Amino acid sequence: MQYLSDVNLRAVLSVLIGIAGGTIEISNAELYDAMLPENGQAERFRVEELREGVRLTLVPGRDLNGSHE
């Protein structure tokens, strides 16, 4: 599994929001940064399918020259 479908993404968000206590506040700036990062890399997380679920991991961004932050 390399990406989450809309249905799976909504399910993951429901679980994460529940773990966080029921509410998560995200600013517009944080949303825009996640959608349009300065380094040009759109996906900043890795999705791994596990035997009993999924693992989501933040990955270091790459700048336009290809080096890691």
**pLDDT for the residue numbered 15:** 95
What is the Cβ-side half-sphere exposure of residue 1, based on CA atoms within 13 angstroms? 15
Helix (H) or strand (E) holding 32: helix 28-35
Whether the predicted pLDDT of 66 surpasses 50: no
**pLDDT for the residue numbered 59:** 80
For residue range 41-56, list pLDDT tens digits in order.
666 788 899 999 999 9
Between 59 and 38, residue with greater pLDDT: 59
Is residue 68 very low, low, confident or very high in pLDDT (cuts 50, 70, 90)?
very low
Phi, psi of 11 (to 5 degrees): -65, -45
For residue range 7-30, list pLDDT tens digits in order.
988 999 999 999 999 999 999 998
